[in-house]
Chain A
Amino acid sequence: MQLPNPETLLADITAKIAEKINPNSALVGIHSGGVWLMRRVLETLKADIPFGTLDAALYRDDYAARGLKTNLKPSDIAFDVTDKHIILIDDIFYTGRTTRAAMNELFDYGRPASITLVVLINRGGAQLPITPNITGAEILLQADQNLQLSQDTKGKLHLEIEQNNA
């Protein structure tokens, strides 16, 4: 399958985010891919926007079955979430469960005025009534396929599909 260039998609979602930004906006990236994207968006926008990072692992619904992942990253939201228009950024949108967990965590920081979900790719397969507001591309994948965003040492983004054998 020919995958789109993630750098092009990033430029695309950055332009759409720029239209949404208002004085009360804040960016929040979900670890790890969403944080890379958020940093790139901030570089491009060159605006003074509060930002933070989330690792929603402590709010996931599969903890009882699968335990805590080992490479946990601390969430870091130093601004006051209350009354902010949060632009929540993730790389791949799949079941919607990560978004659910991230929203629950955000609400433990405060009461945002709104949350806008931005994703680089929606791969289909939502299991919850959650849909991204801004999407770079929609690529429908099978359940046994795993779409992975990576960042090389120069900060360039790459997409690849792996086959899950499990």
Chain B
Amino acid sequence: MHNPQLDANGELKHLLTIEGLPKRILNQILDTAETFVGVAERDIKKVPLLRGKTVCNIFFENSTRTRTTFEIAAKRLSADVINLNVGTSSQSKGETILDTVDNLIAMHADMFVVRHAQSGAAHFIAQHVPDNISVINAGDGRHAHPTQGLLDVFTVRRYKPDMHNLRVALVGDVLHSRVARSEIHALTTLGVPEVRVIAPKTLLPADVEKLGVQVFHDMKNGLKDVDVVMMLRLQNERMTGALLPSAQEYFKTFGLTQEMLNHAKPDAIVMHPGPMNRGVEIDSSVADGSQSVILPQVTYGIAVRMAVMAILGGGQSAGGIS
């Protein structure tokens, strides 16, 4: 089947989901991101790659943090950035998605970063845009959030480079998390042999085992001897019906406290995609503790987004140079 993310030569054309991305492309993105980590540590945190290009952040759903990191990433590549919160603009006046996109194309945008509450929105836009425009999915419904998945994997690789010998546990609301799916795909593609999910039955998708993960319903067993603990946020805004008794009850059973974390390996790292619900899924002392890499994740997120944009933005003739 044709992968809409890749061009005729198998190079990255859009970034819509990690599913179906070959290992070669994942490694290309992660290796390129290493270069951009260094750029952020310089006095002048800017490179000229996307000079003269216009990146449009089209956010049909609000997400200040994701939008900000894409904006910083684009600006550090010297692109001009337009931010559109469509929820508060034309769509409330009745304009369709494609009309909004067509207007931006007419303004000579070169890249779209799309966030939408509906699964598949970024795919839909990618199929519509002309050849010279790339689309990056910045989160679509419950479906995918590929740059978050990539930045998490990048963080894992930086702290635990030997990915073929890792035990990784994802804890929490897998059902509503678009990050979890992206992460599971990326981790297994890059050779992590054991990915676990730890969650109450009500917060797991019905076919979760099909993703190639081991399922645990209690923290103690699930965290035993893991190298990486990836906490997921309780997606309050996506909850419908009574999936959970109460936040306090959830914290007692699935909250990450230091006592729980001690079941993992002593050098295990703790990750969280943010924003955190302190005292609901994670205890403050763990979030701020020595094993936490939550803030480095944010820093690496910019490098990974720069890498994706830099790979997508260049090369009118096909293929990377060697």
Q: Residues of A at under 8 Å CB distance from B?
A: 55, 57-59, 62-76, 104-105, 108-110
A residues within 8 A CB of B37? 74
Decide if A109 touches B311 in the complex (CB within 8 Å): no
Q: How far is the CB of B154 from chain A (nearest CB, A)?
A: 13
| Residue in B closest to A78 when the chains form the complex, CB atoms | B41
Bound-state Cα–Cα, A161 to B84, Å: 53
Interface stretch (choices B42-50, B95-103, B206-214, B259-267): B42-50
Mask: chain B, 301-322; 1 = CB below 8 Å from A; 0 = not:
0000000001100111101111
B31 touches A72 (CB 8 A): yes
Q: Hey, which chain B residues are within 8 Å of A73, CB to CB?
A: 35
Which of A62, A72, A105: most chain B CB closer than 10 A? A72
Chain A residues near B32: list those with CB within 8 A.
Answer: 68, 72
Tell me the smallest distance from the CB of B320 to a CB of chain A, in Å.
4
CB–CB A58/B48 < 8 A:
yes
Query: Does residue B39 face the partner (Cβ distance < 8 Å to A)?
Result: yes
Contacts A/B (CB < 8 Å), 30 sampled: A57-B35, A58-B35, A58-B48, A58-B49, A59-B47, A63-B314, A64-B315, A64-B316, A65-B315, A65-B316, A66-B314, A66-B320, A67-B11, A67-B314, A68-B32, A68-B49, A68-B310, A68-B315, A69-B320, A69-B321, A70-B322, A71-B31, A72-B31, A72-B35, A74-B37, A74-B38, A75-B35, A76-B38, A104-B48, A108-B42
Of chain A, the residue at the smallest CB distance from B31 is A72
In the bound assembly, the distance between CA atoms of A73 and B11 in angstroms comes to: 19
Q: Determine whether the beta carbon of A66 is less than 8 Å from that of B321.
A: yes
B43 partner residues in chain A, CB cutoff 8 A = 108-110
Number of A-B contacts (CB under 8 A): 73
Check B34 for interface membership: any CB of A closer than 8 A: yes
Check if B28 is an interface residue, CB within 8 A of chain A: yes
Q: Is the CB of B320 within 8 A of A67?
A: yes
Q: Which residue from chain A places its CB closest to the CB of B38 in the assembled complex?
A: A74
- A146 CB to closest chain B CB (Å) equals 12
A104 to B34, CA, bound (A): 20
Q: State the CA gap A63–B50 with chains docked (Å).
A: 9
Q: In whole angstroms, how far apart are the Cα atoms of A100 and B243 in the complex?
A: 60
A-side contacts of B316, CB under 8 Å? 64-65
Supply 13 further A-B pairs (C-beta < 8 A) apart from A64-B314, A64-B315.
Answer: A59-B47, A63-B315, A67-B314, A67-B319, A68-B32, A69-B322, A72-B32, A74-B35, A108-B42, A108-B43, A108-B47, A109-B43, A110-B43
A75→B45 CA distance, assembly (Å)? 13
Which chain A positions have C-beta within 8 A of B49? 58, 63, 68
Which residues does chain A contribute within 8 Å of B314, judged by CB atoms? 63-64, 66-68
User: Inside 8 A of B42's CB, which chain A residues have their CB?
Assistant: 108-109
Q: Cα distance A58–B35 when bound, in Å?
A: 9
Cβ of A105: which chain B residues have Cβ within 8 Å of it?
Answer: 47
Report how far A63 CA is from B311 CA in the complex, Å. Answer: 10
In whole angstroms, what is the CA distance A64 to B315 when docked?
Answer: 5
Bound form: Cα–Cα A75–B46 in Å: 13
* CA A73 to CA B34, docked complex, whole Å: 8
Q: Which residue on chain B has the smallest CB distance to residue A71?
A: B322
Chain A residues within an 8 Å CB radius of B321:
62, 66-69
Q: Which residue of B lies closest to A70 (CB)?
A: B320
A108 → chain B closest CB, angstroms: 4
- Taking CB as reference atom, which chain A residue is nearest B306? A58
Complex CA distance for A46 and B43, rounded to whole angstroms: 30
A64-B316, A67-B315, A69-B320 given; A58·B44 CB < 8 A: no
B27 to chain A, nearest CB (A): 9
Chain B: minimal CB distance from A95 (Å) = 14
- Docked CA distance A57–B321 (Å): 10
> CA of A104 to CA of B320 in the docked complex: distance in angstroms?
22
Contact A108 B44 (CB under 8 A): yes
What's the minimum C-beta distance from A100 to chain B, rounded to whole angstroms? Answer: 12
